[in-house]
Structure 1
Amino acid sequence: MNRVLILGGNGYIGGSLTSSLMASGYHVTVVSRSSTTNIECHRYIQLDLAKNDACKSLIVDEVDTVIDLVSYIPPNTENVSVSDIKRSLESYENLLKHINDKHYLFFSSGGTVYGNSSMPLSESAPLKPLSPYGIQKCMQEELIQKIMSKAVILRVTNPYGGSQKVKHGVGFVGHLLYCYEKGAPLTLSVPQCTSRDYIYISDLVHAVRCLIESKIKAFDVYNISTGVSSSLENLIDAVHDRKKLKIITDLSNFQSDFYISKNVLINRKIEDALGIKLSNKVEKYILTKSSQVDLEHHALPDK
C-alpha cells in the first residue's frame, strides 16, 4: 500500500486528492492548521507548518510520498517585501530538510511564477513573478532544488469543478456558475480579456496519481495544464443563457502591478512522461452545468 502524506490538505485540491487516493486504496494522512475537517482520511493531524520546527512533529519514516499544498502567503497578499517572504519561509526550509529523502510533489503556481506572456510557456521559460505569492513560490522552488533529491515541482494552472467552494468568488468558473444559478450579479475586478489556462480537477488529480505511481523519482519540473487559454469573456459567453447573467465591472481595486493579462502553459512534457491527455473542456463544462440549472428551474412547480 502506497502511503501518502498531504500537507495543507484540508482545502479544495487536497480534499479532491484525498478522496481519489482513498478510493484507490492508498493510506492517506492529511496535515492542516485547521482544527476541523470534513475530509475522510486514515489520519488527520492539526499542525501549523508556518511555525518554526513544527515539522519535527511529523513522523515521515513510514511515508512513501509527500504532497505539499501549503501556502505560506495567501494568493491575494499585497504589500509584502522580499525580506518578509524570506522570513516566512524559514520554517519551510526546515520542513524540506526533515523530509529530504522522500518522494516529494510540490504544488507551485503555474498562473503566477511565469508572469505575463502572450505566448505559451514551457517549463524552461524564465520565471518572472509579479505578485508576492508568485515570488514566494519561486523562492520555494529554489530551496527545493538546493535541498531535495526526489522532488517533482508541479506548476499547476487554474483548477475548477468538483467540490470547489464558490460563494465568495474563490475560483472564477465556480463563482460564475454560482451567480448564474442564484441570479446574483457577477462582479469582475479585472478586464474581461484576462485569459487563463483552466484544468478540470479530476484531470489534475489523475495526473498527480499517475506521478505517484510512476517511476519519476528524480528532480523534475512539470506544467500541469491544458495548453489552451480561455478569456473571462469566453467563459461568460459559454453559459446557456447569456441574457440571464448581470455583469458588474469594478476596477477600483485593480492592481496593475500584479496583473497578468494572459497565461497559458505548454503541457507536452507531462503528457509524454505519463502517457496522459490533458484537454481544455472548461467552456463545455460551463455550458453543461448552466444548462442543468435552467432545466432544474423549468422543472420547479409554479408558486
Structure 2
Amino acid sequence: MKHLFSITLLSLAGVLTACSTTPTSTTLLDQTRSDYQTARHNPAVTSYASVEIDQAAVLLDKANLAASKRESPEDVDKLAYLAKQKVATANEVAKQKSAEAVVKTADQQRNQIRLNERTNEANLANANALQANAAAQIAQDQTQIAQAETAKLQAQLNDLAAKKTAAGFVITIGDVLFNIDRAELKAEGTMTIQKVGQILLDHPDQNVYVAGFTDSTGSAAHNLELSNRRANSVAAVLSDMGVTRNRVTVHGYGEDQPVADNSTAQNRQLNRRVEITLSSAGGNTVH
C-alpha cells in the first residue's frame, strides 16, 4: 500500500516536471487528486479500504500519465472520473466497515454492558444508527451517480436531436448523409453514428434498433436491398467502435413505412432515411 502511495506521488511529480510544455489539466483531474490525498490520509480508509484506495491510485496514475502526454481533456477526464469514483468507493467502504467495527465492539462488550441494561440498549441503538447512516450514505451516492448518468445521456440525446417515442429515443439519419443511391456514409454521417456509438459505450444497458427506409423511386427489390445496406453501414460503424453486435438489431424496410407521400422531391427525401432507436428502460428495444 505504501509502495502504491509512493508510485502515485512520483507519478504526480512526473506530470508536473516531465516535459517542458504545460500538461493537460482539468478541473475534474485536480479535484480527483485532492479527493485522493484526503482519502489516503484518512485512517479509516487505510484500515478498511486499502484495496480500493490502491485501485484508485492506479487509476489516478493513468489519468496523470494522460495529462502528462497532453492528451485531450475529454480523455483525461474519462480516466479522472474512474479514479474519482474509486476514491468515493473507498470512502464508502471505510464508512461501512467502521460502522460494522463499532457494532462488533459493542457485541464484544455486551457482557459488561449487561450490568446496566439502559446503557446496553443505548449502545445497541447507536450502533444500529451508525449502520443505517452508512447504508443511507451509500444509497445517496448511488442515486447521485445514477442521476449524473441520466443527465449525461439526456445531453447526448439532445445533441443528436433524438425524439422520444413509445419505442424509445429515435435518431434519424437523413439521406444527405449518404452518397446518392449508395450505402456508404459520408464523413459527417460517420461522425453522427460515432456519437450514437459513444452513447452505447457509455450506457451498456442500452440496445439499438437500426432501420433503413427509401422512397418509392425505383424497383421495390432495389429499394429493399439499398435500405438493408444502409442500415448495415450504420451497424458497421457501431461495431468498429466496440459495440457488440448482440446489442444491435438491423432491418431494411425499403419503400414501406414512408413518413410522407412520395409525390414531391422534398417528401421523397424525408422517406430516404435510417432510424436508430435506442432501447427504453430495461434494455429491450421495442419495435
Q: Which has the higher contact order (CA 8 A, sep 6+)?
A: 1
Higher strand share: 1
Would you call these one fold, judging by a TM-score over 0.5? no
User: TM-score, structure 1 length as denominator?
Assistant: 0.25
Higher helix share: 2
User: TM-score, structure 2 length as denominator?
Assistant: 0.26
